[in-house]
Structure 1
Amino acid sequence: MKKRISITHLIATLFAGVFIFYGISCTKGIEDVSFYDKSQVTILTYLKENPEYSGFLELAEKSGYSGALGAYGAYTVFVFDNEALQAYKSAANITEFDNESAKRLIEYHILKSVVNTDIMGNGGMRTSTIVGDYIVADLQEGNKILLNNHAFIKTRNLVMTNGYMHVIDKVLPPINDDVKTRIFNESEFSIFKAMWENSDFEAIYAKEKGLLTFFVVPDSVYQKAGINSLTDIMNLPAVNNERSKLTDFVAYHAIQGMRFLNFFDGGNYPTLGKEMLSVKIENRYKVNKRFIKIPGDTEVETYVPVHPGMSNRQARNGVYHVLGDKLIPITPPAEYTYFDFTEQPELVNLPEYGVATIQNIQNWEFERVKVVVTGGSFEYFVSKDANDKKYYNNKDIFYFSGGRWSLELISPKISAGKYRMRLLYKMGPSRGAVQVYLDDVKVGDPINMRNNYPTEYDIKNGNYWRAFVKDVYFDTTKEHVIRIQTVIPGQGLLDGMEFEPINE
């Protein structure tokens, strides 16, 4: 007999087993079935008891993931039936899957935590697959949900002991091409492709280890602006027929991180070029919004529009969006910037990121972090404490166990302007005192993280501090070197650094 259960109860029941998955698997119309409880069986048992999914089951067994689907955990599976699998094999001219191709296909259909259709939203899902890929959901007319602009969910929210199942009408082909390949393969971006190939941007792109987001202008939009070829691009004032400026022009179209449109909060974002990119979310997505004066001393709003219906195009190493006007580098006004110390590619790309503590990382080779520890250890710490979860950004910090230490990091780009600089940390009886340096210059007074005394610019929530460092002025948009160094030995629980604009 089917019975309905609450989603809150399900998540509470499953949450405790969220890590089990990693230990086991390192390696026609819409039927709206909502929250039916099949929680006496695992996903694996359900697949075995329903022969229409025997093909999915066979692939799971071949890939090595069947054990995980039968174990205690909390994840989401997009399952396809035999008919859908056969259609996929025919279209892709596949006779049999080898172990590696079976593994790639199955892992693309499993999310690393519980996701029901009520929280999928419109755009990229916040939860990635077990190997870090992202699936895009598009809520369509009639309450239909389209995944990756390809497959509809036809049976949704089947509750098992170890997660959710959603039945889809087609197999989701894994996306294996990188952003460059996907853009180059689309004829509508031939001018952008020519810009890339005739600049030195390839070296910048090849150096990037993390995920990327591109804003690409199609040929049709360039043509409306009178730009029909690379020659017209080279004649733009921003490029001025210089290869180095063309390189920066192309780099300005890419920002670090995987950002589907629904991932943007609004603000300034570091590009791979010299300047920041501004994204505002109002009645639509607006890139580089600003006001210009026209005759009569009237101010008119101008911006570069984003086409949502043509955007959120996935790639193996990022996503790209389509713009409705040419994109020219500008220096945007100062915006609030938060630098989360733990957002380093060497950590973000790990399955433990945001989930589990990693000890003794002082021996790691970070590209943008330098750590010196004497008499203690250094770790990436993920807290389980309710208050920490509330006040830590992403629930995680860098933790120094004691002794003398220093932490040197390269910040993201920060727009030119005046800012109030604050260090975010947790106070405690065994903490040390630190001095902050900005671009090798001492800034502000030492901060006693054991028993700090608030100034008018400090912000305090219990033991969680946003401690005032100094008001600083940046005359150009660029990255900065931040060093935090003990002047009194002790522990350090460091979250990040914020830069709050000062508008005078």
Structure 2
Amino acid sequence: MKTFKIIANWSSGALWAMLVICIGMAGCEFDPPSNINITDDTNISGYLRQNPDEFSSLSHILEISNTEGFLGTYGTYTFFAPDNEAVEGYLQENGLSMDGLTEEDAKDIVRYHLLTDTISTAGFTDGKLPIATEYGKYLITGAEYEDGETFIRVNRQANITESNVKLGNGILHEIDNVLSPPTKTMAQWLEENQQYSIFSQALKETGWYDILNQEEEGQWYTVLAESDETLAEAGYESYQALEDRYSNTGDPTNPSDSLNLFVSYHILPDIKYIADLVTATAHETEAPQEVVTIKLNGTEVLVNDDVFFGVHEPGSPIIREASDFSVTNGVVHSVEDHFGIKLRAPVPVYWDVADQAELRQMTTVFRVPGAPKYTFKLGELSKMSWEGNYVDNEVVYNPPALNEQYFVNGDFIDFGVASNRLTKLHITTPVLVKGRYKLWVCYRARGSYGTQAKVTLNDEDIPGSRLLDTREYFPAGLDDVDEAEARGWKKYTALTNSRNWVGRLIGTLDVQTTGEQTISFERVAGGTDGFWMDMLHFIPDDMEQQWPKFNIDGEMVYPED
């Protein structure tokens, strides 16, 4: 039973407001998802106190950290709660006692187990959770088989023993071990794991060890490491054999030395877990102007699985069980096969514009059917900016509707590039390999509400390009795909013949430098509603343009043979 205490100096107005809220809540019915356990407790702190046989030690840690009150208020949290046995084992293993815990030590424990969003196990993926902990580090989850049972394992450190306990301020998952944040830098982690002794030595000889041993605010790295076994299979059984093969200047510290380039090609200048890698077909490396490509083949993630001049070059699989290892300055993955820098041809990029990092962290909104729209203010999206008379209510994310729509992944962004609203929109693209691409803008036609806009690449005109006009529908009766392509049209969705969902060819881009690019849209005429953008397709100009098409779930569809 819940006990409510009313503070004596509350105003009568506040009490009336509280009464109205309580009556309103009493009149609401909540039908929870089947995987959610319901409890009468109103908050995380209360639940821990009321279950001392399991959580008295954790409750004490909350008291020491002065976070008990914080977790006793309403909010939206996910808390991984180690039981008493887990806490006692953690203290003993680390030579600590409950009485000897400082407030800061206790806060660090709480922060590393707490996320400021409600994430049930249904929202877990085999990899990192969508948002970081309050400690500032990501947790990873995955299913593991142990003693005849399947568990969800967190950070390879703890099993979830009871999941999805729904509380008044979030969700609690009980775990059987205390989670510990990473304490070693990438360089230290690789050095201490002897299966990477050759790769670690290469880091030292090229100067990359010192760089990967630094911890700087906002500076992250991802390493695609090759184990001694992988290198031996490629013919390099020692560091000296690797240097003899690659170092062409005799000075591996020289950034232009081929060994230095080999090492830098295995380092990405950002933190990218497997879940991040598979969201793009190409990723920049620390080797200048060089990218690695990523392909998802079923559940297998392949590095540099490409076709060059009609010849398939098999990629190097990422070893999942030896990857997604968090370090203080990034994440380490292990690859199965040796790979080096290779001649890189342009690869197609089929980009869902709504796939933005900030949106991915909004787990209650991003691609959740029936979720409310979200309006972005200028500056809230790191890869988009805009200009105009009114800038804070004109970019709106639309999650999948409950009624059937044909947007890829169900969602789109409504850009208010329209009369007396936004005048210009700038979008940072995924990585594009240097080369020539045809640019297709995929949108939902808006008729008289649509907008006509000029499209530019990196603030430069696109030679021979046409204006984007979202007032235009797909032409009626245009059934011949070759004729459609010649006229700059395609249907990019697979499940509808509606003329509303349009792929429009803007022109051919000449990408001079491998990396992210900026596509800008400047209003020319028309429009009271702007445009509803779904995808951007960057397809090498010598490749098939009409296929693949896309299902609502994002699956690529190719013509039947």
The corresponding residue for 2:457 is 438
Normalising by structure 1, we get a TM-score of 0.74
Q: Alpha-carbon deviation of 1:172?
A: 0.6
1:136-285 to 2 correspondence within 5 Å? 136-141=141-146, 142-199=149-206, 209=218, 212-228=221-237, 230-236=239-245, 241=250, 243-244=255-256, 245-255=258-268, 258-261=271-274, 264-265=277-278, 268-272=281-285, 273=287, 274-282=289-297, 284-285=300-301
Number of residue pairs matched? 468
- Per the alignment, in what secondary structure is the counterpart of residue 456 of structure 2? strand
- 1:397/1:156 CA distance change after superposition, 3 Å: same
State how far apart, in whole Å, the 2-side matches of 1:456 and 1:208 are.
Answer: 46
Residue deviations 1:137-194, cap 9 Å, x none?
2321412233222212223333334433222111011225443443344343343334
Q: Alpha-carbon deviation of 1:215?
A: 0.9
Q: Alpha-carbon deviation of 1:299?
A: 7.5
- 1:423/1:118 CA distance change after superposition, 3 Å: closer
Maintained 8 Å contact 1:176/1:316: yes
Query: Residue type matched to 1:217 in 2?
Result: E
Is 1:498 matched with 2:537?
yes
The corresponding residue for 2:51 is 50
- Per the alignment, in what secondary structure is the counterpart of residue 101 of structure 1? helix
State how far apart, in whole Å, the 1-side matches of 2:70 and 2:413 are.
Answer: 27
- Per the alignment, in what secondary structure is the counterpart of residue 57 of structure 1? helix
- 1:478/1:235 CA distance change after superposition, 3 Å: farther
- 1:178/1:124 CA distance change after superposition, 3 Å: same
Q: Alpha-carbon deviation of 1:79?
A: 0.8
Query: Residue type matched to 2:139 in 1?
Result: Y
- 1:181/1:396 CA distance change after superposition, 3 Å: farther
Normalising by structure 2, we get a TM-score of 0.68
Query: Residue type matched to 2:284 in 1?
Result: T
Runs of at least 5 residues in structure 1 that lack an aligned partner in the other structure: 2-7, 13-33
State how far apart, in whole Å, the 2-side matches of 1:170 and 1:380 are.
Answer: 46
- 1:189/1:379 CA distance change after superposition, 3 Å: farther
State how far apart, in whole Å, the 2-side matches of 1:238 and 1:482 are.
Answer: 39
The corresponding residue for 2:31 is 9
The corresponding residue for 1:5 is none
- 1:456/1:392 CA distance change after superposition, 3 Å: closer
Q: Alpha-carbon deviation of 1:397?
A: 6.7
Maintained 8 Å contact 1:418/1:503: no
- 1:292/1:417 CA distance change after superposition, 3 Å: closer
State how far apart, in whole Å, the 1-side matches of 2:239 and 2:393 are.
Answer: 49
Q: Alpha-carbon deviation of 1:333?
A: 5.3
387, 390, 407: which one aligns with 1:376? 390
Is 1:452 matched with 2:472?
yes
Q: Alpha-carbon deviation of 1:304?
A: 2.0
Query: Residue type matched to 1:261 in 2?
Result: I
- Per the alignment, in what secondary structure is the counterpart of residue 66 of structure 1? coil
State how far apart, in whole Å, the 1-side matches of 2:211 and 2:415 are.
Answer: 31
Maintained 8 Å contact 1:60/1:66: yes
Query: Residue type matched to 1:499 in 2?
Result: F
Moved more, 38-47 or 353-362: 353-362
The corresponding residue for 1:324 is 336
106, 109, 114: which one aligns with 1:105? 109
Maintained 8 Å contact 1:116/1:164: yes
1:23-42 to 2 correspondence within 5 Å? 35-39=36-40, 41-42=42-43
- Per the alignment, in what secondary structure is the counterpart of residue 48 of structure 2? helix
522, 531, 539: which one aligns with 1:485? 522
State how far apart, in whole Å, the 2-side matches of 1:176 and 1:74 are.
Answer: 28
State how far apart, in whole Å, the 2-side matches of 1:239 and 1:303 are.
Answer: 25
Is 1:470 matched with 2:507?
yes
Maintained 8 Å contact 1:276/1:331: no
State how far apart, in whole Å, the 2-side matches of 1:446 and 1:62 are.
Answer: 63
State how far apart, in whole Å, the 2-side matches of 1:380 and 1:233 are.
Answer: 55
1:415-434 to 2 correspondence within 5 Å? 415-416=433-434, 418-423=436-441, 432-434=451-453
State how far apart, in whole Å, the 2-side matches of 1:373 and 1:300 are.
Answer: 45
State how far apart, in whole Å, the 1-side matches of 2:294 and 2:163 are.
Answer: 34
- Per the alignment, in what secondary structure is the counterpart of residue 9 of structure 1? coil
Moved more, 141-150 or 37-46: 37-46
Residue deviations 1:214-238, cap 9 Å, x none?
2101233323433355554344358
- Per the alignment, in what secondary structure is the counterpart of residue 181 of structure 2? coil
1:381-420 to 2 correspondence within 5 Å? 381=395, 383=397, 386-387=400-401, 391=407, 402-403=420-421, 405-408=423-426, 410-416=428-434, 418-420=436-438
Residue deviations 1:253-298, cap 9 Å, x none?
13465544355548632122323323333364332235799xxxx9
Q: Alpha-carbon deviation of 1:78?
A: 1.5
- 1:315/1:254 CA distance change after superposition, 3 Å: same
Residue deviations 1:21-69, cap 9 Å, x none?
xxxxxxxxxxxxx754324543322111112312222333444543453
Is 1:129 matched with 2:136?
no
State how far apart, in whole Å, the 2-side matches of 1:404 and 1:382 are.
Answer: 13
Runs of at least 5 residues in structure 2 that lack an aligned partner in the other structure: 2-29, 367-372, 475-487, 545-561
Moved more, 187-196 or 166-175: 187-196
Q: Which has the larger radius of gyration?
A: 2
* Cα RMSD, aligned residues only: 4.5
State how far apart, in whole Å, the 2-side matches of 1:427 and 1:189 are.
Answer: 54
Maintained 8 Å contact 2:225/2:266: yes
- Per the alignment, in what secondary structure is the counterpart of residue 295 of structure 2? strand
The corresponding residue for 1:313 is 325
- Per the alignment, in what secondary structure is the counterpart of residue 101 of structure 2? coil
Moved more, 248-257 or 462-471: 462-471
